[in-house]
Amino acid sequence: MFSKRGRILSLGCLAVFLYVSVASWAFAAGNEIRFGYIALDQLHSPAVMVMKEKKLLEAAGFTVKWSEFLAGTHVLREMASESIDFASCGAVPILAAHAQDVKLAVIAGANREGSSLIVDNSVKTIKDLDGKKIATPGLGSIQDAMVAQLARANKIRIQRMAMRVSEMPLFLRKKEIDGFIAWAPHPSRAIVEKSGYELLVSHDLMPDHQCCVLAARESLLRSEPETVNKLLEIYLEAYKWFLENPDESIKLLAQNTGMTENIVRQALDTVKYPYPPYCDVASMRSLAQDLMSTGKITAVKEGDLDSFMENLYRPELLEKISRTERP
């Protein structure tokens, strides 16, 4: 016969067992994942494209609500209202949103570099950009930040205009702007169509910079760690597939961007895909400092930058999974 204490312990163990069983059943039955990504941004976040096209999350038992957005700032508004669980977008809007108390956790990188500054043939040098109209994806994008940094470094004034990246080549061809900076493959499209030429690539502006990242709502790391870990495993599986199957990947990219395979191949030359996809912390710090110096981040002080970055970027999750992949 059990003692009273023994009965309490037994009931406690039973409760734990039931909780674990129910949690496991719920996971197997299909937790819902709400995932936000940027329209026509598949060259910068190809693993997300592969996950979506090949239904890798669904195959793992998840139900997925995919949401497409025009820019990272739109994605992060949804994350702030907890309407989105995971997002793939640029590091700059992630940094700005996290500083505004949108609790995020960057769990992996996507790409590095991958943007180009395309200009009218009348622009020959950086100094010729003085007073010119240059379209960017908008305030809060890394592309806009790079143009602002270029202007400050060269002591010139550039008129930055927010515009949809898909419309930039047309506006340049009509000479309503003097140039634009955008993520691949849109610059390659403009070059092929002879709307302008490539003055600089992001390697010239900010070598090896972190561009896009994979982020989760910070609360999920505590409330649903299994979901976060499983999604990250699938993300890495998709990332590896992309790198190991270049021909099929190019076909998928062409289908998803509406570009020709020739344009996609040309665009891929400007993008870096490190594996495992750790983030370049130095460039993210530099981007954060730039946002602070220009007043776009005001809540973080210089002395708090280390703790700010440590709270945002969580490489230990990727490290744990990567260790199991090593021979």
Exposure on the CB side of residue 224, measured as CA atoms within 13 A: 18
Residues 221 and 91 grouped into a single domain: yes
- Is 2 among the domain residues? no
Structural contact between residues 184 and 145, judged by C-beta atoms closer than 8 angstroms = no
CA distances from 72 to 16, 36, 92, 142, 215 (A): 40, 9, 9, 10, 11
Q: Could you give phi then psi for residue 268, rounded to 5 degrees? A: -60, -20
- Is 165 among the domain residues? yes
- Is 146 among the domain residues? yes
Q: How far is CA 307 from the centre of its chain?
A: 21
Residues 262 and 193 grouped into a single domain: no
Residues 259 and 245 grouped into a single domain: yes
Residue 107 DSSP one-character state? E
Residues 88 and 137 grouped into a single domain: no
CA distances from 266 to 88, 185, 186, 251, 258 (A): 23, 8, 11, 13, 15
* Domain extent at residue 237: 32-113+210-325
- Is 10 among the domain residues? no
- Averaged pLDDT in 10-residue chunks for the chain of 327 residues: 36 38 39 90 91 96 93 87 93 92 95 95 96 91 90 96 92 96 92 93 92 95 95 97 96 92 92 96 91 87 92 95 70
- Is 8 among the domain residues? no
d(CA 152, CA 1): 80
Into how many domains does the chain fold?
Answer: 2
35: left (phi over 0), alpha (psi -120 to 50) or beta: beta
Residues 105 and 223 grouped into a single domain: yes
Question: Could you count the other beta carbons within 10 Å of the beta carbon of residue 258?
Answer: 11
Residues 84 and 187 grouped into a single domain: no
Q: What is the pLDDT of residue 41?
A: 75
Q: Print burial letters for 71-93: b (CB count within 10 Å at least 16), e (below 16).
A: bbbbbbbbbbeeebbbbbbbbbb
Q: Could you give phi then psi for residue 112, rounded to 5 degrees? A: -125, 150
- Is 69 among the domain residues? yes
pTM as predicted: 0.84
d(CA 325, CA 327): 7
Question: Could you count the other beta carbons within 10 Å of the beta carbon of residue 307?
Answer: 10
CATH number where 131 lies: 3.40.190.10
What is the bridge-based pairing of β-strands 115-119 and 32-38? unpaired
Amino acid letter, residue 137:
P
CA dihedral 122, 126, 132, 133 (to 10 degrees): 100
Residues 59 and 197 grouped into a single domain: no
Residue finishing a domain among 205, 240, 272? 205
Stretch (H or E) spanning 182: strand 179-183
Residues 196 and 226 grouped into a single domain: no
- Is 5 among the domain residues? no
Which residues make beta-bridge pairs with 235?
none
What is the bridge-based pairing of β-strands 210-217 and 104-113? antiparallel
Residues 127 and 197 grouped into a single domain: yes
Place of tokens 């140039």: 179
Q: Nearest to residue 161, comparing CAs of 176, 183, 142? A: 176
Amino acid letter, residue 42:
Q
Residues 89 and 128 grouped into a single domain: no
Q: What is the pLDDT of residue 325?
A: 65
Which residues make beta-bridge pairs with 67?
36
